[in-house]
């Protein structure tokens, strides 16, 4: 590859004839903590304008055996978009086409459209995209590639539940269209759902048909402190047996304090070691759930006004910002909701044995717990064994080693170790789709 100066646009005749090429150092990183993120290799950035340009580029890359990495909004947490081999990074930032089909209640989005842009466009047409599967700057292509989840997954599902159709480019440059605008499709193997969550290793997603919903109703929110984790999670279980809230977020006391510090907002109580932020679409649901909270020994139940709702959501949303520079990584194991309390207790036992301090919070309504092991002197000597034990506990509980962040670069070994048969099947699929191994090499199964 020709050597480029930072920000310089060139034509690399041997590899990228007719393409503008950039060297942008920041594209070598995403939101993965630097403690565990791999160092990027030498790479060139290309910003295609459409699927045809991607098709042309992949055909060339496949012929020459050049590694291709795909980047959306750079909000990933598993190093999935970090170029770890010398090659080309395709940024989808120019793929911005979006159209709303009101009668069929779908959005036709190119891969570079952000979550914020999709939500605003849907609302302008009297519709909504209820899930909140990521940062507002996360792109549709990236969220589909990781099957992103988020705080509302318990009621509204994850990205997989909203993808009706896909346009994608295979490693050899062929364009394929999967699915369409229909809710039902039993026409053979669901290759569409195979690409959802494939993390850029099988094909490059260029466009998607996304299911939309009627407008969101006015929400009700409860902020509830509990003295113990058991009481808090028993309340979650009791509530979800009779209704499906929009979200039920769990926060340990220290996580709340971090959110307060970063956001400048105040939580509802200084008491309690476990806190729940419960969100409902209907007031009567919130009222019924409040009774269940008191029945499970809640210290108090606070009903948030619209302004307080915004403040509390900001507090919850900024916990990660307050801890990310202090954390080794963000574990996102997922367990059945009835097992959350036991998972947290067993995790605490492991943490104490290794001398690792862990801050925990997460999506109690769907069992996806975010654990932040904090950096300490000599953490590298014990951390990987500690992580293996934590993830093994989740697997033993019929859970998953990643609920929403994906495997990417950083959980490959655990995927192989805990799911050996499935891992081998995934490798076979990778070889079928990408026999030369050019797409996102080194990620997920390699």
- 282-301 residue pLDDT tens: 999 999 999 999 999 999 99
Q: pLDDT tens for residues 227-238?
A: 999 999 999 999
| Same domain, yes or no: 266 and 288 | yes
What element of type H or E holds 211?
strand 204-211
Residue 22, domain extent: 13-91
> What pLDDT, on a 0 to 100 scale, did the predictor assign at position 21?
84
Last residue of one domain, picked from the residues 91, 125, 160: 91
Q: What are phi and psi of 89, to 5 degrees?
A: -105, 120
Return the structure tokens found at 37: 């993120």
Three-state SS at 288: helix
| Predicted local distance difference test score (pLDDT) of residue 329 | 96
Residue 340 pLDDT exceeds 50: yes
What length does the chain have?
446
Question: Given pLDDT bands bounded at 50, 70 and 90, which one contains residue 346?
Answer: very high
Determine how many CB atoms are found less than 10 A away from the CB of residue 424: 12
306-317 and 253-263 helices cross at what angle (nearest 10)? Answer: 110
5 in a structural domain: no
Token pair for 234: 């028993």
Render pLDDT for 49-65 as a digit per residue (tens, 0 to 9): 999 999 999 999 999 89
Confidence of residue 217 (pLDDT cuts 50, 70, 90): confident
The mean pLDDT of 76-105, rounded to a whole number, is 97
The pLDDT value recorded for residue 14 is: 60
Cα–Cα distance for residue pair 371/359, rounded to 1 Å = 6
Q: Is residue 445 part of a domain?
A: no
- Average pLDDT, stretch 421-446? 97
Phi, psi of 184 (to 5 degrees): -110, 140
Helix (H, G, I), strand (E, B) or coil at 242: coil
Give the pLDDT confidence score for residue 15 in this predicted structure. 62
113 with 58, same domain: the answer is: no
Domain-embedded: residue 224: yes
Residue 336 located in a structural domain: yes
Pairing of strands 204-211, 175-179: unpaired
Q: How many CB atoms are closer than 10 A to CB 330?
A: 19
Distance of CA 258 to the CA centre of its chain: 22
* pLDDT, average across residues 97-122: 98
User: Looking at residue 254, which CATH number applies to its domain?
Assistant: 3.30.70.2190
Q: Is the pLDDT of residue 17 over 80?
A: no
Q: Is the pLDDT of residue 344 over 80?
A: yes
State the pLDDT confidence band at 245, using cuts at 50, 70 and 90.
Answer: very high
- 409 with 442: CB under 8 angstroms? yes
Say which residue the tokens 């929009």 belong to: 246
Contact predicate 198/185, CB 8 Å: no
Task: Kindly report the average pLDDT of the chain as a whole number.
Answer: 94
Same domain, residue pair 120 and 207: yes
Shared-domain flag, residues 151 and 200: yes
Q: Would you give the DSSP letter of residue 122?
A: H
User: What percent of the chain shows pLDDT beyond 70?
Assistant: 96
CATH at residue 137: 3.30.465.10
Domain count, the chain: 4
> Is there a single domain that holds both residue 163 and residue 65?
no
Q: How many CB atoms lie within 10 A of CB 19?
A: 19
- Please answer whether residues 271 and 379 qualify as being in contact, where contact means their C-beta atoms are separated by less than 8 angstroms: no
Query: Which three-class secondary structure state does DSSP give residue 266?
Result: coil
9 pLDDT higher than 90: no
Cα separation, 164 vs 260, in Å, equals 39
**Signed CA dihedral, 314, 319, 320, 324: sign only:** positive
3-class secondary-structure state, position 80: coil
Whether pLDDT at 5 is above 60: no
Q: Is the dihedral of CA 281, 284, 290, 296 positive or negative?
A: negative
Residue 429 lies in a domain: no
């Amino acid at each position: 590859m020709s050597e480029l100066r930072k920000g310089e646009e060139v034509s690399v005749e041997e590899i990228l004839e007719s393409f503008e090429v950039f060297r942008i150092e920041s594209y070598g990183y995403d939101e993965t903590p630097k403690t565990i993120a791999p160092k990027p290799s030498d790479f060139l950035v290309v910003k295609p304008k459409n699927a045809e340009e991607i098709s042309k580029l992949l055909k060339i890359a496949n012929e020459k055996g050049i590694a291709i990495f795909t980047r959306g909004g750079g909000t990933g947490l598993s190093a999935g978009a970090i170029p770890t081999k010398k090659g080309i990074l395709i940024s989808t930032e120019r793929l911005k086409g979006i159209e709303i089909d009101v009668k069929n209640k779908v959005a036709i989005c190119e891969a570079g459209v952000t979550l914020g842009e999709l939500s605003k466009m849907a609302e302008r047409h009297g519709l909504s995209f209820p899930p909140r599967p990521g940062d507002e700057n996360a792109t549709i292509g990236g969220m589909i590639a990781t099957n992103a989840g988020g705080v509302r997954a318990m009621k509204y599902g994850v990205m997989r539940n909203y993808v009706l159709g896909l346009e994608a480019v295979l490693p050899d440059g062929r364009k394929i269209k999967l699915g369409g605008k229909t809710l039902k499709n039993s026409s053979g193997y669901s290759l569409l759902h195979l690409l959802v969550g494939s993390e850029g290793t099988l094909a490059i997603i260029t466009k998607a048909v996304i299911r939309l919903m009627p407008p969101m109703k006015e929400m009700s929110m409860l902020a509830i402190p509990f003295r113990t984790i058991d009481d808090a999670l028993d309340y979650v279980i009791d509530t979800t047996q009779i209704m499906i809230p929009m979200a039920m977020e769990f926060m340990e006391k220290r996580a709340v304090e971090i959110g307060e510090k970063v956001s400048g907002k105040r939580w509802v109580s200084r008491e309690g070691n476990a806190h729940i932020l419960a969100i409902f679409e209907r007031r009567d649901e919130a009222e019924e759930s409040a009774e269940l909270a008191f029945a499970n020994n809640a210290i108090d139940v606070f009903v948030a006004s619209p302004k307080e709702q915004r403040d509390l959501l900001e507090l919850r949303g900024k916990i990660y910002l307050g801890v990310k520079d202090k954390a080794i990584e963000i574990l996102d194991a997922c367990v059945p909701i009835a097992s959350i309390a036991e998972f947290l207790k067993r995790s605490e036992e492991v943490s104490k044995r290794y001398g690792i301090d862990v801050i925990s919070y997460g999506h109690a309504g769907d069992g996806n717990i975010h654990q932040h092991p904090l950096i300490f002197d000599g953490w590298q000597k014990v951390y990987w064994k500690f992580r293996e034990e934590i993830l093994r506990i989740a697997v033993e509980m019929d859970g998953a080693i990643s609920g929403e962040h994906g495997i990417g670069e950083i959980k490959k070994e655990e995927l192989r170790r805990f799911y050996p048969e499935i891992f081998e099947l995934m490798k076979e699929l990778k070889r079928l789709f990408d026999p030369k191994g050019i797409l996102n090499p080194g990620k997920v199964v390699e």
